Every structure is written in C-alpha cells, then in structure tokens.
Structure 1
Amino acid sequence: MHGPASPGWLLVALCAATGAYCLLRMRSTVEEQRRAAGGEALMGFGMAAMAVPAAVAAPPHWAWLGYAAVFGAAALRALWAARGGGHHLHHVVGACAMVYMAVVMAASPGHHHAHGGSGVPLVTGALLLYFTAYVLLSGVRLLPVAAMTGSTGSTGSTGSTGSTGAMLPRPARTPGWGDRPELSRACRLSMGIAMLAMLVTL
C-alpha cells in the first residue's frame, strides 16, 4: 500500500502478529473455530503483505491481481460457509474489502505512490462505515468477556469431596489458546483496526 513508512511497518507488524496468533488458534479442538482461524490467518498475512511500504517493495501489477484472485476465492468460500451463520458473513465482507483494495491498486496508474483518491468514494465510504461500526462493537464486546472469564476462573466448580466430607472446589480447566474468546475477539478487533487504516489510504 501507500503512505509513510513508519506507520506502514507498524501495520505490517500488527497484521503479521495477528495472523501468527490465528495459526495458533487453528490448534483448537473445535472444528468451527479452526475454520474461522484459518480464514483470519489468511486475512492477517494478506493484509501484512499489502501493507508493506511501497518505498521498500513496490509490488508489480500482477501481484495485485494475485491478491484479488486469492481473496476472491476466500470470499466465495466464506459465503458458502455463511449458510450456517456464525462469523462467516464478516469474513465475506473482509475478503471483499481485500479484493476491492487490490483491484483499486492494480487499476490506479500510479498505484505504487498514490496518496488517496484512487478508490470509488461510495464503496470506500461504505466499507469505512462498516469496519468502524465493527471495531466499536468488538471493543464493547471484548470488555465483558474478559471480566467474565476472570470471574469464572476464580470461583471454579464444585467437585471432589475432601477428608471432612465437605465438597471442595474443583479447579476450572484453563482453555487452550485457540478456545479463549477474549483473545479471539482481540484478534478480530486488531484486524478491523488495520482494515480501517488501509481503507483510509485509498
């Protein structure tokens, strides 16, 4: 993408770290979470690649077309999975936003050094509104989830009987990295913020 180098590298680091965590989430024992994590890992690494400052590595024209093809296939896959509901509709919007940005950069005559005004204002504005609402909603949802997991972990559940005959609390099982809802929401929040930053530069 285009823009100053320092914020660009921060965006690359954020997206790459998010993609790496999503790879860890793919070790979850829940199949639905593994599928969602796989799509989000692709999104994170794809955003990291697209956010590399053009002054360092200016992608050729065919690279943007490649991005569009990859995320177009990801959008179709998410759309097929969205028949069962869940978080897949957001994946469809995210993948379509990536296709849109890639097409805009490929079609722009000076896409290597453009500084805004390259996209379709109506489409860009609609995506900005969507991801702004998504980021705000994700931030609101993140706080109670973190508080609830902390409170449940401290109380535990009743279990074995001690030597005195009283019921002793059984330690709550610590969820794995792929099953912690607050980390998954933080991951999606980070990608939503990164998407906003990339759309603003169009």
Structure 2
Amino acid sequence: MHGPALVNWLLAALATGSGGYCGWRVRQTRWTDRSCGDGRAARRESDVLEAAMGLGMAGMALLPGVPWGWPYALLAAVLLVGALAGRGAGLRAHRLHHGIGALAMAYMALAMAGAPPGGHAGHHAAAAGLPVVTGLLLVYFGGYALWVGGRVIAAGGPPVAPPLPRACRAAMGIGMVAMLLTM
C-alpha cells in the first residue's frame, strides 16, 4: 500500500487477526457438517473466504504488488459465477459480497503495482486506479462496514448470532476502506 508504514502495519495486524479468527472458526466446524442443511456449510464457506480475504489484505498491506492480484481475480470469477448459480438468496448474497471483495482485492493489487512507489494522496502523486471504480468500491465497503457495525451494536446482548464474527466482518470492511483510501 502507499500509506504510512504505521498504518500499513496496523492494517496488517487487524486483517491478520480477523482472518486468523475466521480460520480458527473453520477448524471448529467439522468437515462432516458440510452436508447439513442448517446453514453450517454456508457458514463454513463464508469463514474460509473471510480467512482468505483477511490474510490476503494483510499481505497486500505489507507487500503490495501484482502477485496478489491474479489469484484474487480468479477467486472473484469463481465466486461471481457461483453467486449466479447458488441456491438460496443468503448463499448468493454471501458469494456476491465475497466476489466483490475479491474483485476489489485484485483491482487494488493491479492498480497499486502500476502506481509510483511511495506516492499517496497526501504527496500530490497520481492516484492509482480509476477514481470512479475506487469511489464505487469506497461507497460499497463503507456502507457495508456501517451496516455490519450497526448490527453488532444493535445485537448488544441478545444471543441472536455471535457478535464476534460480525465484528470481524465490520473490521474487514473498514480495512478495505482504508486500503482503498490509500490509492
């Protein structure tokens, strides 16, 4: 990324923590739960994707470049096709969201690779990427972070769903916004 080193390290720590937690949740779900029709398979898929996104965000924060872009472009294609073919509105929505996230990761990796090193908005360097695409992604992930964050706050005490996974999703949305702002 093209921001201050401290911000890059803090973003990497946040993304590693979120991705690590999602990876831990994957390990807590038995492989045999994949065939259950009660949503555990969708939760497992979501946790796997969120772990991949969190760890990828951490890597991109510390070592930006093209190598991150191509795997996420492929993942985005698979997820977006899966969103079209998925069963159930909830599964389609999760795949679509993760597909947009993977597409954003690929976009940022490829755009940052073409930007001048060390340049960011505060030093009058040319912006990396297309301002319209970056702006749309900022609106999407900013809105997503506010929506999920609002659900974490609203849950407060009711045991409707564990608040920590939602808090991790909010943190990852905020991380995406931070990464997009440095472009």
* CA–CA distance in structure 1, aligned partners of residues 24 and 81 of structure 2: 24
* CA–CA distance in structure 2, aligned partners of residues 86 and 130 of structure 1: 14
- Which structure has the greater CA radius of gyration? 1
Out of 119, 127, 138, which is 2:137 matched to? 127
Aligned equivalent of 1:77: 78
Aligned equivalent of 1:187: 168
Structure with the larger helix share: 2
1:36 aligns to 2:37 (yes or no): no
- Compute the displacement of 1:106 (Å): 1.8
Q: TM-score, normalised by structure 1?
A: 0.75
What letter is aligned with 2:151?
Answer: R
Match of 1:148, SS?
coil
Runs of 5+ unmatched residues, structure 1: 53-57, 153-179
Q: Name the CA shift for 1:138/1:99 in 2 (closer, same or farther; >3 Å).
A: same
- Compute the displacement of 1:181 (Å): 3.4
Identical counterparts, % of pairs: 43
* CA–CA distance in structure 1, aligned partners of residues 78 and 46 of structure 2: 11
Out of 61, 74, 79, which is 1:51 matched to? 61
Runs of 5+ unmatched residues, structure 2: 34-39, 122-126
For residues 141-152 of structure 1, the aligned pairs below 5 Å read 141-149=151-159
- Segments of 4+ in structure 1 off by > 6 A? none
Out of 115, 119, 125, which is 1:114 matched to? 119
- Compute the displacement of 1:130 (Å): 0.8
1:94 aligns to 2:104 (yes or no): no
* CA–CA distance in structure 1, aligned partners of residues 149 and 105 of structure 2: 22
Q: TM-score, normalised by structure 2?
A: 0.82
8 A contact 1:25–1:33 mirrored in 2? no
